[in-house]
Amino acid sequence: MNRQPRRNFTAEFKVQAVARLSEPGVTQASVARELGVSASQLKGWRLELAAAGSAEAIRRQRAEGAELADLRLENRRLKEEVEVMRKASAFFAQWAAKQ
Domains and CATH numbers, the chain: 11-98 (1.10.10)
Q: How many CB atoms lie within 10 A of CB 18?
A: 19
Categorize the per-residue pLDDT at 54 as very low, low, confident or very high, splitting at 50, 70 and 90.
confident
Contact 46, 21 (CB under 8 A): yes
Would you state the pLDDT for residue 69?
A: 97
So what's the pLDDT on residue 1?
59
The yes-or-no verdict on residue 48 having pLDDT over 80 is yes
- Residue 89, pLDDT > 90, answer yes
Query: What pLDDT is attached to residue 76?
Result: 98
Model pLDDT, residue 87? 95
> Phi-psi category of 92—alpha, beta or left, where left has phi over 0 and alpha has psi -120 to 50?
alpha
